[in-house]
């Protein structure tokens, strides 16, 4: 049973440039056998978090548990974790086989034949049997990636850590390796923590997604939940491509309206008693062009991008720019006036100051 | 027909105009490297060739008389000269141990500098000091330290540690020259090795840490293989310089410990009567010996 728990984990860097909190009071639980993805923009602390779990960075505050063991003060080798690095970090002087057997050799308790057997077995799973005797400089990027994966999982670690492992591969290979990783995870059922800046990778692969920004956890949930019920504006905008359209409006009384149409009512005063501003979030795929919905407005088309399977329309609604993902059949010309509509249920609401999601007290009645 | 410089360079009008482009290119290539070839020829080939000629002659002291051809006599004398063989032995011992010493010390110090630290620029400068300081100054400092009657090192080694009987002149031992050269030239090894040490990706060490490799294993499995070529190159360069060394040894021990470099000088200019043909023969053997060693080394160890 390998559950990974982070409690109040912080990382503070102190150097000549001053003090920086790279990770701030992080609380997170990754269940046994889960595939968890930590995602966020660069500099959000996701790699630092992973390196703290691996033992490559010290933990300034808080505790990390792997299974029942508190590990934050243990050396990397004592944690029984395996890690795949962004640049693979294969040992250049060793063959694929030696690379994969290196950890087994140092773990001890296995004869050379046993080690060989394990490596061969893992190589079969990864389909790299024929390159086992090559050195890393003779391998292609995809092959190196597989050997690096093999090196990590052959040790049967309690936790499998991956730091942007696919970012050096081309698009086709990346999607292939994505499926491969999921297959391996299904086969071996190892608790996996995967770091990426790519929200698409995060959404497609994970059982659980943790979104980080500025060293703080924004939301930890299933991908569906994070997408459909974002905890705050950052999560709403970060997930999804093209990203969510946002419109900031001040609230008049308790009623929130968008483009002159009532959406519903909220508690109009914040904690400090002032009228609050809200941000509407509208996902590009929720906006319909050419039909009226709960809320509709007339928009002028500024640009159309052909995407093959559909079009991205760039609209201007009352001087607000909107991106719409439309089916291929909807293809207006720049300058056209169209009707754009959205259903009430699809409009997200956030507090403009704190960014927190706001729920409506009452939906406006049609 | 106008013959511009460009035309001339390209071989037009000078040579057959029916040449293919490829032939013209080749010709142009030869024309372009000709100045370098002449320069190298004049400055390198001529002295070597002249030295080979001299080694088959006996050179009179009177410069108005021309050298007298003696055939292989100098070489025959050389083979049966015990002092020559002593110099060969000393040279090999000195070359090998001061090379290993400087390379190993340079490696050790470079590893200390692997991670940047506060003030490492100044420290790096200090490490280079023995290499930068004028040889004449440091050689005399060392000689003073090693003075047989009042130097501190002989006192320590003889009277305190009783490593060898007092009365031996430590300045006359090859060991001290090796120590001196190790100290003087390790910064060179340090500089070359440091550049490579710092370019080893940290991720390799991190991966090895997670794999459970200890310090020794990480050094053996990551650092050494990554430094293989720079170590081999440093060793080769130091070997060449040590083998041909003159001034360090001369300033330090004079003629008390003959090595090939000082042996050549003493026989050619510092003996009465001087025997320059003999000295030329020794120098030629040094070139041949070094050449064979370097070729063998590159072929069997470096795998370039």
pLDDT in tens, B15-50: 556 778 888 889 999 999 999 999 998 999 999 999
Question: Cis peptide before B240, with omega less than 30 degrees from 0?
Answer: no
Do B17 and B119 belong together in one domain? no
What ipTM was reported for this prediction? 0.86
pLDDT value of position B1: 46
pLDDT exceeds 60 at position A220: yes
Do B49 and B116 belong together in one domain? no
pLDDT value of position B6: 66
Cα distance between residue B147 and residue A343, in whole Å = 98
| CATH classification at residue B175 | 1.10.3720.10
Find the residue in B nearest to A78 (Cα): B212
Do B11 and B93 belong together in one domain? no
Contact criterion met (CB < 8 Å) for B212 and A82: no
pLDDT in tens, A11-34: 999 877 788 899 999 999 999 999
pLDDT in tens, A190-205: 999 999 999 989 999 9
- Residues in B closer than 8 angstroms to A101, CB to CB, are none
Average pLDDT over residues B52-62: 89
Encoded tokens for A79? 């944690």
Residue B63 lies inside a defined structural domain of this protein: no
Average pLDDT over residues A285-296: 90
Contact criterion met (CB < 8 Å) for A93 and B221: yes
pLDDT value of position B300: 83
SS3 A21: strand
Do B130 and B272 belong together in one domain? yes
Contact criterion met (CB < 8 Å) for A55 and B204: no
Cα distance between residue A351 and residue A355, in whole Å = 5
Q: Rounded to the nearest 10 degrees, how much is the dihedral formed by the CA atoms of B44, B47, B53, B58?
A: -160
Residue B60 lies inside a defined structural domain of this protein: no
Encoded tokens for B111? 């590893």
Do B79 and B48 belong together in one domain? no
pLDDT value of position A254: 76
Cα distance between residue A115 and residue A148, in whole Å = 16
Residue B64 lies inside a defined structural domain of this protein: no
Pick A107's closest partner by Cβ from B209, B212, B217.
Answer: B212
pLDDT in tens, B80-90: 999 999 999 99
Interface membership of B128 toward A (CB under 8 Å) = no
Cα distance between residue B41 and residue B48, in whole Å = 10
pLDDT value of position A276: 74
Q: Which of A158, A142, A130 is nearest to A90 (CA)?
A: A142
Q: Give the angle A152-A156-A157 at the CA atoms, nearest 5°.
A: 75
Chain A / chain B CB contacts < 8 angstroms: 62
Phi/psi for B121 (5° steps) reads -65, -45
Q: How far is CA B75 from CA B54, B59, B253, in A?
A: 12, 15, 27
pLDDT value of position B4: 63
Q: Which of A15, A4, A38 is nearest to A198 (CA)?
A: A38
pLDDT exceeds 90 at position A252: no
Do B49 and B189 belong together in one domain? no
Intra-chain end-to-end CA distance of chain A, in Å: 52
SS3 A190: coil
| Size of chain B, expressed as the number of residues it contains | 304
Do B162 and B34 belong together in one domain? no
- What is the domain extent for residue B209? 73-302
pLDDT band at A151 (very low <50, low <70, confident <90, very high): very high
Cα distance between residue B92 and residue B99, in whole Å = 10
Q: Give the angle A246-A248-A251 at the CA atoms, nearest 5°.
A: 135
Residue B61 lies inside a defined structural domain of this protein: no
SS3 content of chain A, % helix, strand, coil (to 5): 25, 35, 35
Interface membership of B213 toward A (CB under 8 Å) = yes
* CATH classification for the domain delimited by A242-363, as one of 2.40.30.10, 2.40.128.50, 2.40.50.140, 1.10.275.10: 2.40.50.140
pLDDT value of position A125: 87
Percent of chain B past pLDDT 70, that is, above it, reads 90
Encoded tokens for A197? 């800046």
Interface membership of B216 toward A (CB under 8 Å) = no
B172, B257 Cβ separation under 8 angstroms: yes
pLDDT exceeds 90 at position A285: yes
Pick B210's closest partner by Cβ from A83, A87, A94.
Answer: A83
Cα distance between residue A291 and residue B204, in whole Å = 58
pLDDT value of position A225: 94
- What is the distance of C-alpha A223 from the center of its chain? 9
Q: A206's torsion region: left (phi>0), alpha (psi -120 to 50) or beta?
A: beta
Average pLDDT over residues B58-82: 88
Output the DSSP codes for A269-332.
B-TTSSBPEEEEEE-TTT-EESS--SEEEEEEEEEEEE-SSEEEEEEEETTEEEEEEEETT--P
A291, A318 Cβ separation under 8 angstroms: no
* Range 75-94 of A in CB contact (< 8 A) with B: 75-77, 81-83, 85-87, 89, 91-94
pLDDT exceeds 50 at position B263: yes
Cα distance between residue A289 and residue A296, in whole Å = 9
Do B30 and B146 belong together in one domain? no
Do B112 and B20 belong together in one domain? no
Pairing of the two strands A159-163 and A191-196: parallel
Where in chain A are the domains?
Answer: 4-230, 242-363
Spatial neighbors of A123 by CB under 8 A, at least 6 apart, are A96, A97, A100, A129, A132, A150
Do B248 and B137 belong together in one domain? yes
SS3 A267: coil
Q: How far is CA B304 from CA A216, B235, B299, in A?
A: 52, 15, 7
Cα distance between residue A365 and residue B246, in whole Å = 101
Pick A77's closest partner by Cβ from B204, B209, B221.
Answer: B209
Residue A255 half-sphere exposure toward CB, CA atoms < 13 A: 9
Residue B155 lies inside a defined structural domain of this protein: yes
pLDDT exceeds 70 at position B11: no
Interface membership of A168 toward B (CB under 8 Å) = no
Do B78 and B155 belong together in one domain? yes
pLDDT in tens, B187-223: 999 999 999 999 999 999 999 999 999 999 999 999 9
Encoded tokens for B189? 């090894």
Cα distance between residue B122 and residue B101, in whole Å = 24
- Helices A112-126 and A96-107: crossing angle in degrees, nearest 10, is 130
pLDDT value of position B118: 87
Longest alpha-carbon distance in chain B: 90
pLDDT value of position B160: 78
A126, A144 Cβ separation under 8 angstroms: no
Structure-token match 């055939």, residue found: B71
pLDDT value of position B270: 87
Encoded tokens for A199? 């929200």
Residues in a beta bridge with A277: A250
Pairing of the two strands A81-84 and A347-351: unpaired
Contact criterion met (CB < 8 Å) for A103 and B204: no
Mean pLDDT (chain A, rounded): 90
| Size of chain A, expressed as the number of residues it contains | 366
Q: A151's torsion region: left (phi>0), alpha (psi -120 to 50) or beta?
A: alpha
Domain A4-230, CATH homologous superfamily name and number: P-loop containing nucleotide triphosphate hydrolases (3.40.50.300)
pLDDT exceeds 70 at position A48: yes
Contact criterion met (CB < 8 Å) for A83 and B206: yes
Q: How many domains does chain B have?
A: 2
pLDDT in tens, B136-155: 888 888 888 877 777 788 77
pLDDT in tens, A66-125: 999 999 999 999 999 999 999 999 999 999 999 999 999 998 888 999 999 999 999 998
Do B50 and B79 belong together in one domain? no
Spatial neighbors of A131 by CB under 8 A, at least 6 apart, are A96, A138, A139, A143, A147
């Amino acid at each position: 049973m390998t559950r990974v728990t982070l409690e109040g984990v912080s990382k503070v860097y102190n150097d000549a440039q001053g003090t920086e909190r790279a990770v701030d009071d992080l609380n997170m639980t990754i269940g046994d056998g889960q595939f968890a993805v930590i995602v966020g923009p660069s500099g959000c602390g996701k790699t630092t978090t992973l390196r703290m779990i691996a033992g490559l960075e010290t933990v300034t505050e808080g505790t990390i548990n792997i299974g029942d063991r508190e590990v934050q003060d243990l050396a990397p080798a004592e944690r029984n974790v395996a890690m795949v690095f962004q640049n693979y970090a294969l040992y250049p002087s060793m063959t694929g086989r030696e690379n994969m057997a290196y950890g087994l050799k140092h773990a001890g308790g296995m004869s050379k034949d046993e080690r060989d057997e394990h490596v061969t077995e893992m190589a079969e799973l990864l389909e790299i049997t024929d390159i086992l005797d090559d050195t890393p400089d003779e391998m292609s990027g995809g092959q190196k990636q597989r050997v690096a994966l093999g090196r990590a999982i052959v040790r049967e670690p309690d936790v499998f850590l991956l730091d942007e492992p696919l970012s050096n591969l081309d698009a086709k290979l990346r999607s292939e390796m994505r499926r491969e990783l999921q297959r391996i995870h299904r086969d071996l059922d190892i608790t996996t923590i995967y770091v990426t800046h790519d929200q698409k990778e995060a959404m497609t692969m994970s059982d659980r997604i943790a979104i980080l920004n500025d060293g703080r956890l924004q939301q930890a949930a299933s991908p569906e939940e994070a997408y459909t019920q974002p905890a705050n504006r950052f999560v709403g905008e970060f997930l999804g491509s093209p990203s969510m359209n946002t419109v900031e409006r001040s609230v008049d009384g308790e009623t929130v309206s968008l483009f002159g149409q009532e959406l519903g009512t909220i508690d109009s005063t914040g904690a400090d008693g002032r009228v609050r501003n809200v941000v509407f979030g509208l996902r590009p795929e929720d906006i319909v062009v050419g039909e009226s919905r709960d809320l509709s407005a007339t928009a002028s088309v500024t640009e159309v991008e052909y995407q093959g399977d559909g079009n991205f329309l760039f609209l201007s609604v009352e001087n607000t720019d909107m991106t719409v993902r439309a089916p291929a059949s909807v293809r207006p010309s720049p300058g056209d006036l169209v009707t754009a509509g959205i259903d009430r249920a699809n409009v997200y609401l956030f507090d403009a100051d704190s960014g927190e999601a706001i729920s409506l007290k009452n939906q406006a009645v049609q | 027909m106008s013959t511009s410089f460009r035309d001339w360079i390209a071989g037009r009008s000078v040579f057959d105009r029916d040449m293919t482009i490829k032939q013209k290119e080749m010709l142009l290539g030869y024309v372009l490297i000709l100045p370098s070839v002449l320069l190298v020829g004049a400055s390198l080939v001529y002295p070597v060739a002249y030295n080979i000629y001299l080694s088959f002659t006996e050179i009179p002291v009177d410069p108005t008389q021309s050298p007298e051809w003696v055939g292989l006599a100098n070489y025959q004398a050389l083979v049966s000269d015990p002092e020559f063989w002593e110099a060969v032995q000393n040279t090999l011992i000195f070359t090998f141990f001061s090379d290993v010493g400087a390379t190993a010390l340079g490696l050790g110090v470079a590893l200390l500098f692997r991670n940047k630290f506060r003030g490492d620029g100044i420290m790096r400068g200090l490490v280079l000091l023995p290499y930068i300081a004028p040889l004449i100054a440091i050689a005399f400092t060392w000689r003073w330290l090693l003075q047989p009657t009042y130097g501190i090192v002989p006192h320590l080694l003889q009277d305190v540690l009783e490593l060898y009987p007092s009365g031996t002149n430590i300045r006359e031992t090859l060991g001290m020259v090796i120590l001196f050269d190790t100290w003087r030239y390790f910064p060179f090894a340090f500089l070359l090795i440091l550049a490579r040490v710092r370019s080893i990706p940290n991720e390799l060490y991190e991966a090895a840490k997670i794999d459970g490799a200890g310090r020794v294993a990480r050094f053996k499995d990551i650092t050494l293989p990554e430094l293989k070529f720079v170590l081999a190159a440093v060793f080769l360069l130091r070997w060449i310089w040590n083998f041909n060394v003159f001034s360090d040894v001369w300033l330090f021990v004079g003629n008390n410990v003959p090595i090939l470099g000082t042996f050549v000088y003493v026989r050619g200019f510092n003996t009465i009567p001087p025997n320059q043909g003999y000295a030329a023969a020794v120098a030629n053997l040094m070139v041949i010996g070094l050449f064979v060693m370097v070729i063998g080394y590159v072929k069997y160890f470096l795998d370039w």
